[in-house]
Chains A and B, each alone.
Chain A
């Protein structure tokens, strides 16, 4: 009974301890930022894994996000009070500001976050991280920095790709589902377009990228307990990253808009 009452307090203390360790790890990562050039090949390698190999899944999800937005906008416009060309505005703004960064973030949590947590977690439980340290390597600048830096560079690029394919998907669906021509769709798109909206999406992508990879690296780095621990770290990465994305989404909107 007493243990049951203490549970929330223990949970709070564990969470605060976790936040402290995460901040400490990030601080040592930022300290090793100055030696990024020593691990350039690793950064390029990670850019390929995080960025280039994710392009197909990002194209697929953004394409369908755009199409769904178009179809749902068409459904709302059935009343006839709103001109059909407005669909271009709706698709453009939704994709640039919300759907492209959010969908990319969530997809990348599963694809990249889980992979990184499992990879680093396995290295931890099989003593590979200890081996790195014993060989005079700094595991933070060797394992964590390249991944976070690569994500910070590649996520905005992935968002640009998601923006393009989301709008193409929206255009395709609008032309097929509604009586809207290409030109009308583009007119709607241009009517409400503000460059800041596109920048806002890219900034969100940058933050999501850093959040996903740093959470995954943290979970992997502090993995304990063999294969079960690796599984726990992977699950925690996906759950915490998804929550972090939604949280950052709100915070950035509140600050930047």
Chain B
């Protein structure tokens, strides 16, 4: 379970997050949406301890993560898979090495088991037989899928996605959405998805948080957000810039 209480974060004079409160229960798939610069990625990085909040508390599995030492954070992070916006693959390593690096670090699997796990993770994201390719040889969509394979390889209970479908063509977007649903359907994974693509929200989330002006503007189901009579929300979901 993830619990965020009274979270504040600012950079210099610019407030990014202001009094954020929400909790995510086990097995839930939560989409955090909002305009570019709304603080979505900062919030996600706060959740994994990559950014320290100015105020507030973040609990993951009842453990307060924002006062943890690096060692303690490492333990928590071993249970979280993070998918970065542009894949963030290590460009000096092959696809296979990108995935096995985490497995060597996080698991006690033998070399053969790691090889098998890498193969299966890549197969899960329809990228079988790409172990020996370098990230520079992959397209944007392929990089994102390898990023997902890396995140799921250690079988984490939390999966955090930072804009998994941004910049992809509709077919690739659908393919990534199906992948997220596939991991979600096991019932063992809790997902937090940062996106501004409403299609992804409707396809994969069972709860939506809309960030606006550094605050949570809306918290409800994807069905509810469609019917809310609020200009900010309507502007976001319809993409009509003249509404506000």
Beta-carbon contact of A136 and B88 below 8 Å = no
User: Do A134 and B85 contact each other (CB < 8 Å), given the known contacts A128-B90, A128-B91?
Assistant: no
Task: Determine the distance from Cα of A130 to Cα of B90 in the docked complex, in whole angstroms.
Answer: 11
Residue numbers in B under 8 Å from A127 (CB-CB): 84-86, 88
Beta-carbon contact of B86 and A134 below 8 Å = no
Asked if B50 is an interface residue, CB under 8 A from chain A, the answer is yes
Beta-carbon contact of B106 and A134 below 8 Å = no
CB of A136 to closest CB in B, whole Å: 4
Residue numbers in B under 8 Å from A137 (CB-CB): 105
Task: Determine the distance from Cα of A244 to Cα of B90 in the docked complex, in whole angstroms.
Answer: 31
Task: Determine the distance from Cα of A130 to Cα of B50 in the docked complex, in whole angstroms.
Answer: 7
Beta-carbon contact of A131 and B105 below 8 Å = no
Task: Determine the distance from Cα of A137 to Cα of B93 in the docked complex, in whole angstroms.
Answer: 16
Asked if B122 is an interface residue, CB under 8 A from chain A, the answer is no
Beta-carbon contact of A133 and B106 below 8 Å = no
User: Do A134 and B105 contact each other (CB < 8 Å), given the known contacts A127-B85, A127-B88, A128-B91?
Assistant: no
Question: Within A116-157, which residues are at the interface with B (CB < 8 Å)?
Answer: 122-123, 126-128, 130-138
On chain B, the number of residues with a Cβ less than 8 Å from chain A's Cβ atoms is: 23
Residue numbers in A under 8 Å from B86 (CB-CB): 126-127
Asked if B78 is an interface residue, CB under 8 A from chain A, the answer is yes
Beta-carbon contact of A136 and B84 below 8 Å = no
Counted as pairs of residues, one from A and one from B, with CB atoms less than 8 Å apart, the total is: 48
Beta-carbon contact of B88 and A131 below 8 Å = yes
Beta-carbon contact of B80 and A134 below 8 Å = yes
Asked if B118 is an interface residue, CB under 8 A from chain A, the answer is no
Please name the residue on chain B nearest to A45 by beta carbon.
B92
Residue numbers in A under 8 Å from B105 (CB-CB): 135-137
Most buried by B among A122, A128, A134: A134
Beta-carbon contact of B88 and A126 below 8 Å = yes
Beta-carbon contact of B84 and A130 below 8 Å = yes
User: Do A134 and B48 contact each other (CB < 8 Å), given the known contacts A127-B84, A127-B86, A128-B90?
Assistant: yes
Beta-carbon contact of A133 and B77 below 8 Å = yes
Residue numbers in A under 8 Å from B80 (CB-CB): 134
Asked if B102 is an interface residue, CB under 8 A from chain A, the answer is yes
Please name the residue on chain B nearest to A135 by beta carbon.
B102
Residue numbers in B under 8 Å from A123 (CB-CB): 90
CB of A179 to closest CB in B, whole Å: 54
Beta-carbon contact of A135 and B101 below 8 Å = yes
Task: Determine the distance from Cα of A235 to Cα of B66 in the docked complex, in whole angstroms.
Answer: 35
Q: Please tell me which one of the listed residues A122, A126, A135 contacts residue B77 in the complex, with CB atoms under 8 A apart.
A: A135
Task: Determine the distance from Cα of A134 to Cα of B45 in the docked complex, in whole angstroms.
Answer: 9
Residue numbers in B under 8 Å from A136 (CB-CB): 74-75, 77-78, 102, 105-106
Q: Which 10 A-B pairs have the closest CB atoms?
A: A131-B88, A134-B82, A127-B88, A136-B74, A135-B102, A136-B77, A127-B84, A136-B78, A128-B88, A130-B50
For the A-B complex with A134-B48, A135-B105, A136-B106 known, give 20 more contacts whose Cβ atoms are closer than 8 Å: A122-B91, A126-B88, A126-B91, A127-B84, A128-B89, A128-B90, A130-B84, A130-B88, A131-B82, A131-B88, A131-B90, A132-B90, A133-B49, A133-B50, A133-B77, A134-B77, A134-B80, A136-B75, A136-B78, A137-B105
18 residue pairs from A and B, CB less than 8 Å apart: A128-B88, A128-B90, A130-B50, A130-B84, A130-B88, A131-B88, A131-B90, A132-B90, A133-B49, A133-B50, A134-B80, A135-B101, A135-B105, A136-B75, A136-B78, A136-B102, A136-B105, A136-B106
